[in-house]
Amino acid sequence: MLASWNDGAAKSALTGFVARIADPAGGQYVPPAERIAVFDNDGTLWSEYPLPVQALFVADRVRQLAARDASMRDRQPFKAILEHDHEALHALGKQGLAELLFATHTGMSADEFTGIARAWFASAKHPKLGAIPRQVVFKPQIELLGYLREHGFKNYIVSGGGVDFIRAMAEEHYGIPPEQVIGSSAKLRVESAAGGPVLMKAAEAGSFNDREAKVQNIALHIGRRPVLAFGNSDGDLAMLRYVRAGPGARLALLLHHDDADREAAYDRGFKVSPLAEALDQAAAYGIVVVRMKRDWNTVFF
Amino acid sequence: MLASWNDGAAKSALTGFVARIADPAGGQYVPPAERIAVFDNDGTLWSEYPLPVQALFVADRVRQLAARDASMRDRQPFKAILEHDHEALHALGKQGLAELLFATHTGMSADEFTGIARAWFASAKHPKLGAIPRQVVFKPQIELLGYLREHGFKNYIVSGGGVDFIRAMAEEHYGIPPEQVIGSSAKLRVESAAGGPVLMKAAEAGSFNDREAKVQNIALHIGRRPVLAFGNSDGDLAMLRYVRAGPGARLALLLHHDDADREAAYDRGFKVSPLAEALDQAAAYGIVVVRMKRDWNTVFF
């Protein structure tokens, strides 16, 4: 049980919390139906360094699409991806990112996208870590998800990543079914077909599930305040504080990536997912900091 | 088991379907994780005649608010509610309805609204049927929810009604937890407070969960196609057809209110929730029609 977690303050906070809320005789008992745990995904359940896994998917999809449509090689933002031109990509900003996401994630049915994502997960490779997702997910977190499940918790992912992308791997690799994944999304359009309605992924932004939106989407999808939250960046801070602010026993955890040897060392300077306020104010906000170097004896499978 | 259901085609369709998808040796086996059932609420799980339950809540709330703010008595749309002036109310149209919903459902925290709704459910009375919700829910449907649960199903509500309103009663009366309720919603605003973020219900429309939107929200919230759907109006037709169009065993059911003695007899002429295309095309669309008069030996508790 939690074999990859070193004994110490972080592990004790976890096991002590679970023991307290599961003890019907204690004053902090939480009935199983209310044992909801929410996890950020990128940087919390799997590595996001040097780039989020979904960015690798986008790049592979652009290469696939460009192989069929050569004109993409001369058009931004695709050109920048194909030529690994990070400067040009950065200059294209949010508009360029949106175009990349729409071109690779929309204009097909939801079922078709799931098939594409599953096929990618079956063979994708991370530049440093190996097979995606098997060698990119954090072993201590997979143990934690199982530990919570065994104690009656329902685990949710609440991620800034694309909801359909995560759903394509979460059940098999995290034991988290699609209905327990909340993420960013494009709008869906319902089209009539001979056999009945078909859901098409439209090139129109839906929800960008970051910061305050994580709290709004937890309320919309789950409808009650979770008792445990785990994140790793300032994008998770609203969710961590929202969970922590509820009555009774609550636990909020923050993973600090301080292990350059085994994974990566980054926080406030990391543009993809900066960690500053949450780290500086953790004690004041009652958030438990998990230090990869100190608290995990194993990082990957 | 299903004691309030008469033997016949509708009950056989239900029990036969469940037997087929639960038989690992049969060709139509569905693993428990994929046994998702979706139910409309108004007119499907509880009576919506002559008015949806939420309309009774709105009227009671307007009376409460007007008792504290006398100026509401002279202002539309509140005046029409207080004076039971259905003609004036109808003339105020969608805009009037939106104002009523915002005045009674927003401008407070999500937690406060849940408290108000729960207090209402603890003492509310339906003009004909008695205590809400106990004497307004359909007994055969409560039996069906339990029957499905015992066979490994996860039951969802997918309603045009307000999600927070339904969540305030669904766990106790339907055995359906908040996270398995999808409904219409106002937008939520996150406000900073001393103890952490607070969710405020804003006077701004979010999703109106009817017709095609039911299919979109099923995809957004559940992320996989349910295998069973139950509705009672044309507003449920897209959802029924979407579920029916999936591969393998699927069951779509439509309740026809044809029992004026025990509840009500209505369909295409009922403005609140018309039933025309779904009834006319049920056979063509492969939808099983449940007739209250013929298929239920008991309607209420």
Q: Could you report the predicted ipTM of this complex, rounded to two decimals?
A: 0.96
Could you give the CA distance from residue B197 to residue A214 in angstroms, rounded to a whole number? Answer: 11
B183 in the same domain as B38: yes
> What's the whole-model pTM score?
0.97
pLDDT of residue B233: 98
- Positive or negative: CA dihedral A255, A257, A263, A269: positive
A272 in the same domain as A165: yes
Task: Tell me, yes or no, whether B228 lies in a domain.
Answer: yes
Could you give the CA distance from residue A49 to residue A210 in angstroms, rounded to a whole number? Answer: 18
Domain with B70, as residue range(s), is: 53-126
Encode pLDDT of A187-234 as tens digits: 999 998 888 899 999 999 999 999 999 999 999 999 999 999 999 999
pLDDT of residue A23: 97
pLDDT of residue A245: 94
- Strand A108-109 with A36-39, pairing: unpaired
A162 in the same domain as A98: no
User: Which of A227, A225, A158 is CA-nearest to residue B114?
Assistant: A225
B223 vs A178, A195, A238: nearest CB: A178
Task: Tell me, yes or no, whether B300 lies in a domain.
Answer: no
Encode pLDDT of B163-188 as tens digits: 999 999 999 999 999 999 999 999 99
DSSP class of A256: E
A179 vs B196, B216, B221: nearest CB: B221
pLDDT of residue A195: 80
Mean pLDDT of B96-100: 93
The answer for residues whose C-beta is within 8 angstroms of residue A8's C-beta and 6 or more apart is A294, A295
Instruction: Name the E strands within B114-264.
Output: 125-126, 130-131, 154-162, 181-193, 196-207, 228-231, 251-258
Residue by residue, DSSP assigns B98-109 as HHHHHHHH-SSB
B68 in the same domain as B39: no
Task: Tell me, yes or no, whether B1 lies in a domain.
Answer: no
A110 in the same domain as A20: no
Please say whether the beta carbons of A273 and A232 come within 8 A.
Answer: yes
**Of B126, B159, B181, the domain-final residue:** B126
A148 in the same domain as A76: no
Task: Tell me, yes or no, whether A195 lies in a domain.
Answer: no
Could you give the CA distance from residue B8 to residue B13 in angstroms, rounded to a whole number? Answer: 9
Task: Tell me, yes or no, whether B301 lies in a domain.
Answer: no
Angle of CA points A71, A72, A77, to nearest 5°? 145
**Of B71, B97, B126, the domain-final residue:** B126
Lowest-confidence pick of B11-20, B60-69, B143-152, B190-199: B190-199
Mean pLDDT of A259-281: 96
**Of B126, B152, B179, the domain-final residue:** B126
Encode pLDDT of B63-78 as tens digits: 999 999 999 999 999 9
% of chain B residues with pLDDT over 90: 95
Q: Could you tell me the CATH number of the domain that includes residue A290?
A: 3.40.50.1000
A106 in the same domain as A222: no
Task: Tell me, yes or no, whether B4 lies in a domain.
Answer: no
Q: If interface means Cβ-Cβ distance under 8 Å, which residues of chain B face chain A?
A: 33, 36, 110, 154, 163-164, 167, 171, 177-179, 181, 185, 187-188, 190, 193, 195-199, 206, 212, 215-216, 219-224, 238, 241-242, 244-245, 285
Could you give the CA distance from residue A21 to residue A29 in angstroms, rounded to a whole number? Answer: 4
CB within 8 Å: B242 and A197: yes
- Total domain count, chain B: 2
What the block records as the tokens of A215 is 């709290």
Which one of A191, A210, A220 makes the best mutation probe of the B interface by having the most chain B beta carbons within 10 Å? A220
Encode pLDDT of B201-259 as tens digits: 999 999 999 999 999 999 999 999 999 999 999 999 999 999 999 999 999 999 999 99
Could you give the CA distance from residue A193 to residue A197 in angstroms, rounded to a whole number? Answer: 6
